[in-house]
Chains A and B, each alone.
Chain A
Amino acid sequence: GAVVSQHPSRVICKSGTSVKIECRSLDFQATTMFWYRQFPKQSLMLMATSNEGSKATYEQGVEKDKFLINHASLTLSTLTVTSAHPEDSSFYICSAPKRDRGTDTQYFGPGTRLTVL
């Protein structure tokens, strides 16, 4: 397997503030990482692909100015939710692909539960 960590695991903030979430691959390097959002009792929705050393690629309908992604190194990607509002409250999950037997398998972090008051 592989280990991906996220920090913080839970955050509560006031409306209008910005929140930064970190995603780290602990035992492997990842040139790409993925950020997902999951609302209660729903599936995971891909928000963006984080690329080390270059700009992130956002999925249709995801505001890149609101969800800032920085892939600073081969083991760290950060997602910053800027000017958060209550509708941004969700479970944010990152993943990183690790090569195994000729192809990649995505391993997921434990998630960050964001509550915006």
Chain B
Amino acid sequence: AQKVTQAQTEISVVEKEDVTLDCVYETRDTTYYLFWYKQPPSGELVFLIRRNSFDEQNEISGRYSWNFQKSTSSFNFTITASQVVDSAVYFCALRGGATNKLIFGTGTLLAVQP
């Protein structure tokens, strides 16, 4: 069975703090893909990143960085120097190699206070 766990339901930080959102996944597939999406209050899901199971290189995009560790089945997301505009619900998702279906975590609500 496939499962995504985001243990942090809500996180509140003050602007300019760094924050890490945790994501742990379960799958028996050898090929799989991991995603992060941002859902601001408007509701539209914004694609942030996709990571393939065979590529464990960490990635940085501006203030965003992702740490993929197969040994711990984790795909954590760090926002550096957070801003109020980062306030949103962030979803981690998993897709097996043979399907297009996404399995979503329960999401983490990030509130960045000015």
Contact (Cβ within 8 A) A110 B43: yes
Q: How many residues of chain B get a CB closer than 8 Å to chain A's CBs?
A: 20
The A-contacting residues of B in range 46-83, CB under 8 angstroms, are 46-47, 50, 52
* B25: interface (CB < 8 Å): no
Contact of A108 (CB < 8 Å), options: B44, B101, B106: B44
The residue that A105 contacts in the complex, of B44, B50, B101, with Cβ under 8 A, is B50
Contact with B along A36-72 (1 / 0, CB 8 A): 0000011110100100000000000000000000000
Residue of A34, A97, A108 ringed by the most chain B CB atoms within 10 A: A108
Least CB distance, A93 to chain B, in whole angstroms: 7
Q: Which residues of A contact B42 (CB under 8 A)?
A: 110
- Which one, A44, A91, A110, A111, contacts B104 given CB within 8 A? A44
Q: How far is B39's CA from A110's CA once the two chains are assembled, in angstroms?
A: 10
- For window 91-113 of B, CB contacts with A under 8 Å fall at 91, 100-102, 104-107, 109
Complex Cα spacing A95 to B33, Å: 17
User: Is the pair A44, B44 in contact by a Cβ cutoff of 8 Å?
Assistant: no
Q: Max chain A CB contacts within 10 Å: which of B35, B46, B50, B109?
A: B50
Q: Judge whether B45 and A105 touch: CB under 8 Å.
A: no
B97 — nearest CB in chain A belongs to which residue?
A103
Q: B106 touches which one: A43, A106, A113 (CB < 8 A)?
A: A43
- Do B44 and A110 touch (CB < 8 A)? yes
Min Cβ gap B92→A in Å is: 10
Q: Which residues of B contact A87 (CB under 8 A)?
A: none
